[in-house]
Amino acid sequence: MILEKKNMAGRILLLLLCMNVVSFIVNAAPQTCPADLGGKCSEDSEWEGEFFPGIPKIKYEGPSSKNPLVYKWYNAEEEILGKKMKDWLRFSVAFWHTFRGTGADPFGAPTKFWPWEDGTNSIAMAKRRMRANFEFINKLGVDRWCFHDRDIAPDGKTLEETNANLDEVVALAKELQGDKIRLLWGTAQLFMHPRYMHGGATSSEMAVYAYAAAQVKKAMEVTHYLGGENYVFWGGREGYQSLLNTDMERELDHLARFLEAAVAYKKKIGFNGTLLIEPKPQEPTKHQYDWDAATTANFLRKYGLLGGIQLNIECNHATLSGHSCHHDLETARINGLLGNIDANTGDPQIGWDTDQFLTDIGEATMVMLSVIRNGGLAPGGFNFDAKLRRESTDVEDLFIAHISGMDTLARGLRNAAKLIEDGSLAELVRKRYSSFDSEIGAQIEAGKADFEMLEKKAMEWGEPKVASAKQELAEMIFQSAL
Ligand code: XUL
Ligand code: CO
């Protein structure tokens, strides 16, 4: 009997589904409030009260605190090497991970069901998420955020409608930013939609190139409107899956034309932010054109784009390209291109972009050595392009992850400052190259030593004495600062 009833209900559901009635019922009344929220969400879809009611404003308590919701190393106003910690670090929350990350992976469904989400991608939902974002930023006590156009506002049926959706959400973001919170950077998402399957600026389809240009134009306009300090290009699909069907030279030429047009448009609208390219070697494409800092620097040099564009180095991208984060930071820095850091780390055993919060103090210290040598990152900063693990599902985990990432970099800053103030590491390096401080060394470095002269000297001096590199001593000095 029970079985019969179930069968009957099943048949009715199937029938309704066939008639598209079920989806009609769902679509007819787009949800604007979570079903189980009771009084928290009113008719006009505005959220009442706090999004993070149990979380206080995060304060500095110092290293001896056992409270997970305080800073132990990051003390925003404290001065290190003549600059406040907050000005060295310029932290930013990445909207896409913190507010659009669902925990889904290629093998599993979403695991995060934040209380303010209603399962839709409506404008009302986008606005509510934006409010959650700013409450999060305020409670965390950071001053900056970053976004992709499509993660803050839903696609419409046409580009005009999509732009109007974006404008509506951006207007709210502008209001919520007030005069305290800044947009570190905005960017256009040119990788999710199927139209971008061959790339945006490097697509084989001219109409897609045009669509990508229109999307970037709009994203630059809203970034400018929000007072953005930078604008980022991450070419997720600007690369190839096979060289057999790809005209690499033509695609790279197109990418350069695209960036030239962006530089021109930036000037036209009076946007003074820095344009940044974010290198990544692969994922989702087999080969991405902006493989690493050196490849991207060469691309900029070849196409005469140096001066107009800098680099946003992401640690997990650097390690995917076979370098350390420190290597890519130094490569960017010595080329005068270090503009911003996407702060995260990968996993030594997993071969993809795991986007984890950095917790390795040694790595953070090396990162901060580069940042200090660069004189800081401004107008760039540290954007937490990092996400919770799929299995971390509490709202407080969002706070704990950011606090831990911020404390790690703050600790790196303190350690790097210690190393610089102590001076023994710099002295070790200086000594190592001291033979170039001689008269002939100075001539070599000035480009005034020809081969004939050097041959004469080599014969006169005989077999050179070669000193130890002192690597273990360097490692010992470095460790002593951690
Ligand atoms: C992807 C990545 C992006 C960029 C912005 O690996 O890092 O989120 O930072 O498009
Ligand atoms: Co990134």
Which residues participate in catalysis according to the annotation?
148
Per-residue pLDDT in tens (0 to 9) along the chain, 482 residues: 343 444 444 444 333 333 333 333 333 344 556 655 554 665 556 788 899 999 999 999 999 999 999 999 999 999 999 999 999 999 999 999 999 999 999 999 999 999 999 999 999 999 999 999 999 999 999 999 999 999 999 999 999 999 999 999 999 999 999 999 999 999 999 999 999 999 999 999 999 999 999 999 999 999 999 999 999 999 999 999 999 999 999 999 999 999 999 999 999 999 999 999 999 999 999 999 999 999 999 999 999 999 989 999 999 999 999 999 999 999 999 999 999 999 999 999 998 999 999 999 999 999 999 999 999 999 999 999 999 999 999 999 999 999 999 999 999 999 999 999 999 999 999 999 999 999 999 999 999 999 999 999 999 999 999 999 999 999 999 999 99
Q: How many CB atoms lie within 10 A of CB 258?
A: 19
Whether 326 contacts 373, CB under 8 Å: no
- Residue for token digits 């030429």? 253
Distance of alpha carbon 340 from the chain centroid: 9
pTM value?
A: 0.92
**53: which 2 tokens?**
């009611």
Would you state the torsion angle of the CA atoms of residues 160, 161, 162, 168, taken in this order, to the nearest 10 degrees? 110
Q: How many CB atoms lie within 10 A of CB 433?
A: 10
Question: What span, in angstroms and rounded, lies between the C-alpha atoms of 57 and 175?
Answer: 21
- E strand map for 220-337: 230-233, 239-240, 274-277, 287-288, 309-314
Whether 239 contacts 282, CB under 8 Å: yes
Nearest to 119 by CA among 19, 10, 191, 29: 29
What residues have their beta carbon closer than 5 A to ion ligand 2?
A: 314, 342, 385
**How many Cα atoms are found within 13 Å in the side-chain-facing hemisphere of 7?**
4
* Domains, the chain, ordered by start: 77-422 (3.20.20.150), 435-481 (no CATH)
Max intra-chain CA distance, the chain? 107
Q: CB under 8 Å to 27, separation ≥6 — which residues?
A: none
Pocket test for ligand 1, best of 99, 187, 312 (most atoms within 8 A of CB): 187
Q: How many CB atoms lie within 10 A of CB 481?
A: 20
Rounded to the nearest angstrom, the distance between the alpha carbon of 314 and the centre of ligand 2 is: 6
**159: which 2 tokens?**
């580009």
Q: Is the distance from the beta carbon of residue 385 to the nearest atom of ligand 1 less than 6 Å? A: yes
Rounded to the nearest angstrom, the distance between the alpha carbon of 235 and the centre of ligand 1 is: 9
Whether 164 contacts 156, CB under 8 Å: yes
Whose alpha carbon is nearest atom 8 of ligand 1?
Answer: 385
Rounded to the nearest angstrom, the distance between the alpha carbon of 236 and the centre of ligand 1 is: 8
Neighbour-count burial for 218-243, b at 16+ CB within 10 Å, e otherwise: bbbbbbbbbebbbbbbbbbbbbbeee
Question: What span, in angstroms and rounded, lies between the C-alpha atoms of 91 and 292?
Answer: 23
